[in-house]
Amino acid sequence: MEKLTGLKKIKTAVFISGTGSNLKNIIRFSKIKKSPISVNLIISNDSRSKGLNFANQFRIRKKIFNYKNIKVAENKILILLKKEKIKFICLAGYMKILSENFIKKFSGKIINIHPSLLPKYKGLNTHSRAITNKDKFSGKIILQKKVKITARDNFTSLAKRVLKQEHKLYPAAIMKIFN
Ligand code: GRF
């Protein structure tokens, strides 16, 4: 990953599909002086994503893409990324699998966050989807943290504690990459 030059922050797009708590956290982080990135674009595949509200709140450009045709959607996204001079992508709860072609175009410049201890539980039917799509998961784990599951845990309580850790780890991962 390229080193930071001068004071310019790396133009970043955050891809979301849902609540956007990681998005909000990344935006907040991006505003501190030591952050290597600035969030310049928010992309979603779903106009109902709650996280899109953060675009208005923080006055960041947002764009929703219709995924009826993946190829068309990805090509449109790539055009916009180029136009906006985006150099880095943070996936934060994006519920679409990016194609190999897309990843190649942004090779080494995309990071993701996942709520399980990868490679375990690559969530949401990931195994069957990956097999059908002949996808290969690539890339290395930047940071990982274990969250203890207690006997009293249910989905909600565990998700809450995991998210808390995610919000610490995502900025730390960005720092790690660029330093
Ligand atoms: C997070 O748990 C993330 O790890 C997963 O999707 C969830 C997104 O949550 N990929 P939010 O939209 O950032 O609140």
Residue 125 shares a structural domain with residue 108: no
Q: Tell me the average pLDDT of the chain.
A: 88
Ligand 1 contact, 173 CB (< 6 A): no
- As annotated, the active-site residues are 114
Instruction: List the domain range (segments joined by +) for residue 144.
Output: 115-179
126 within 8 A of 114, measured Cβ to Cβ:
no
Is residue 43 packed enough to be buried (19+ CB in 10 Å), middle (13-18) or exposed (0-12)? Answer: buried
Centre of ligand 1 to C-alpha 20, Å, is: 7
Please name the amino acid found at residue 93.
Answer: G
Residue 162 shares a structural domain with residue 77: no
Count of domains for the chain: 2
Q: Is the pLDDT reported for residue 117 higher than 90?
A: no
> How much is the pLDDT for 134?
46
What are the tens digits of pLDDT across the range 5-31?
446 999 999 999 999 999 999 999 999
Q: Grade residue 131 by pLDDT with cuts at 50, 70 and 90.
A: very low
Residue 22 shares a structural domain with residue 88: yes
Please say which residue of 81, 112, 143 terminates a domain.
Answer: 112
Please say which residue of 59, 81, 112 terminates a domain.
Answer: 112
What are the tens digits of pLDDT across the range 53-97?
999 999 999 999 999 999 999 999 999 999 999 999 999 999 999
Please report, for the domain that includes residue 68, its CATH number: 3.40.50.170
Ligand 1 contact, 114 CB (< 6 A): yes
Please say which residue of 69, 87, 112 terminates a domain.
Answer: 112
Which of 157, 163, 170 is the best mutation target for the ligand 1 pocket, counting ligand atoms within 8 Å of the beta carbon and taking the most?
Answer: 163
Residue 12 shares a structural domain with residue 79: yes
